[in-house]
Amino acid sequence: MKKATIYTRSGDTGTTSLIGGTRVPKDHLRVETYGTIDELNAHLGVLASLIPEHPQCSVVERIENTLFSVGVCLADEKGDSTPDIEQELASLEKCIDAMEAALPPIKAFLLPGGNRASAQANLCRTVCRRAERRLTTLSHECEIPQTVYTYINRVSDYLFTLSRLLNDGVEKKWEKCCK
């Protein structure tokens, strides 16, 4: 059996194939959108590597897996790959609720940062928010399943809450300098 190579040369001219076979430019909005999801997944991998013993590491890894399914959905031009993520969504909301119960109420805007893991969770959150914006733009061209919107929004909520939890109660508050 011949070993497959990582390169196919089919993208050497700046195009790629969607699921379904249509070739599109690599800067096509659909590619940009699932590429942003892929970027988020890469950042989540860094986050998981920073918290390998933390109970939330398994949640981060589940999110990575679910986001891969979301990426497949977005790459499918026919819409035949809608992910079944309602259970993951419910699980994520329970996780957010449990973390919030362990944290003090927010009384000011918080600055990203703190320790390295918390800072990485915030970086993941900002990439997630960009993915939401790309989803919104893509929705003007094709239908996006509502569960995908909801899940991506909830992932950003999770990442914000996780960043707070990872800081062990030490939070930098925004000091308004505007009048």
Per residue in 104-123, pLDDT (tens digit) is: 887 777 878 889 999 999 99
Instruction: Say which DSSP state 169 is in.
Output: T
Instruction: Give the residue among 161, 173, 177, 171 at the shortest CA–CA distance from 60.
Output: 161
Band (pLDDT 50/70/90 cuts) for residue 175 is confident
- Angle at CA 70, nearest 5°, toward 112 and 153? 40
- What would the DSSP string read from start to end of 18-46? PBTS-EEETT-HHHHHHHHHHHHHHHHHH
Identify the pLDDT of residue 124.
Answer: 98
Predicted TM-score (pTM) above 0.85: yes
- CA dist., res. 152 & res. 174, Å (int): 26
Band (pLDDT 50/70/90 cuts) for residue 147 is very high
Angle between helices 86-101 and 57-75 (to 10 degrees): 150
More confident: 83 or 146: 146
More confident: 50 or 27: 50
Average pLDDT, stretch 41-51?
98
pLDDT at 151 over 70: yes
Task: Give the DSSP H/E element, type plus range, for residue 61.
Answer: helix 57-75
Residue 157, class by beta-carbon neighbours within 10 Å (0-12 exposed, 13-18 middle, 19+ buried)? middle
Identify the pLDDT of residue 18.
Answer: 67
Band (pLDDT 50/70/90 cuts) for residue 61 is very high
Amino acid at 166: L
State which CATH number among 3.40.1380.20, 1.10.20.60, 1.20.1200.10, 2.60.120.330 fits the domain covering 15-168. 1.20.1200.10
pLDDT at 139 over 90: yes
Per-domain boundaries in the chain = 15-168
Identify the pLDDT of residue 136.
Answer: 96
Identify the pLDDT of residue 22.
Answer: 77
